[in-house]
């Protein structure tokens, strides 16, 4: 059982929804990013999504693209991202970390080497947005054999014919993308999300977490109420990009977490 599996089992026992927070590793710099990640569990974050900076983030909107650019310009690399996870694990051995990014840096490192390093650093799961199920032998199956969850995205365009393929070999949780498009492009609507979450849950026993378009405590509550939890990324990353202090960003994160936990 991974930390992700253990976390969702505990949340289910507590009849509580999950709050997942995304930050870009190294944005705006290593030390600030580490301080933010270290402060997230205390702010109510159940699962941390740690973005791996990449030069061509095709699924991300301007806010997260800029965060990746800031991180890369500050010298953030795959090695430094893994180091950030290792430093976090010095004080926290229970909060799950999901690394979210693209396949190129992993492929360049070599899958076996990357998986060994990621597990040693305390990474619990992967979301790799540009590897479809047809490429499971590339990373998904080796990752799961190495003890990491491989979390897949389902979207509004994932129809009933495609859904079983998407769910095959998925573990940890299913990430439902609430809108068609890039991150930060529109607001999620619970009325639209609810039936889609129900459709996925009818086909899988995994928790379904909704991301994209969740940007306020009320929105976190409404979206989490029709799913097993929600993810907030762009709204947090924007505040980091605006230069807010670590304390102010974490205070905002706490309001989002409280919203999700009210669901």
Q: Under 8 Å CB-to-CB from 255, ≥6 apart: which residues?
A: 217
Nearest to 146 by CA among 110, 197, 196: 110
Q: Are 227 and 210 in contact (CB under 8 A)?
A: yes
Instruction: Determine the structural domain holding residue 54 and report its residue range.
Output: 3-262
**pTM higher than 0.85 for the full model?**
yes
Give the residue ranges of DSSP H helices in the chain. 3-13, 30-39, 62-73, 78-89, 103-109, 111-121, 140-145, 163-167, 190-203, 217-224, 234-241, 246-262
pLDDT at res. 58:
83
CA distance 48 to 99: 8
Give residue for tokens 């705006």: 28
Q: Clarify whether 160 is annotated catalytic.
A: no
DSSP per-residue string spanning 211-239: ESS--SHHHHHHHHTTSSEEEE-HHHHHH
Catalytic-labelled residue, pool 60, 124, 136, 228: 60
pLDDT score recorded for residue 125: 98
Number of domains in the chain: 1
CATH code of residue 20: 3.20.20.70
pLDDT in tens, 76-129: 999 999 999 999 999 999 999 999 999 999 999 999 999 999 999 999 999 999
- What confidence tens digit (pLDDT) does each residue in 153-186 have? 999 999 999 999 999 999 999 999 986 554 554 5
Mean pLDDT of the chain: 94
Active site (annotated) includes residue 93 = no
Q: Which of 27, 49, 136, 196 is catalytic?
A: 49
């Amino acid at each position: 059982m991974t930390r992700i599996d253990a976390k969702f089992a505990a949340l289910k026992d507590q009849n509580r929804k999950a709050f997942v927070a995304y930050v870009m590793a190294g944005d705006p710099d290593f030390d600030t990013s580490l301080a933010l990640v270290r402060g997230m569990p205390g702010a109510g974050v159940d699962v941390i999504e740690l973005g791996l900076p990449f030069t061509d983030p095709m699924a991300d909107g301007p806010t997260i693209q800029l965060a990746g650019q800031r991180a890369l310009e500050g010298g953030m690399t795959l090695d430094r991202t893994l180091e950030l996870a290792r430093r976090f694990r010095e004080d926290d051995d229970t909060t799950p970390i999901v690394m979210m990014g693209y396949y190129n840096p992993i492929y360049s490192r070599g899958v076996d080497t990357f998986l060994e390093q990621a597990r040693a650093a305390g990474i619990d799961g992967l979301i790799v947005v540009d590897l479809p199920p047809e490429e499971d032998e590339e990373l998904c199956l080796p990752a799961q054999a190495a003890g990491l969850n491989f979390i897949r995205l389902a979207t509004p365009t994932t129809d009933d014919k495609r859904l079983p393929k998407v769910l095959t070999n998925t573990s940890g949780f299913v990430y439902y993308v609430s809108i068609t498009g890039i991150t930060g492009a529109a607001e999620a609507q619970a009325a639209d999300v609810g039936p889609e979450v129900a459709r996925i849950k009818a086909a899988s026993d995994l928790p379904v977490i909704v991301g994209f378009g969740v940007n306020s405590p009320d929105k976190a509550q409404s979206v989490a109420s029709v799913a097993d939890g929600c993810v907030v990324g762009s709204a947090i990353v924007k505040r980091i990009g605006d230069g807010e202090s670590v304390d102010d960003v974490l205070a905002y994160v706490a309001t989002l977490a409280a919203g999700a936990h009210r669901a």
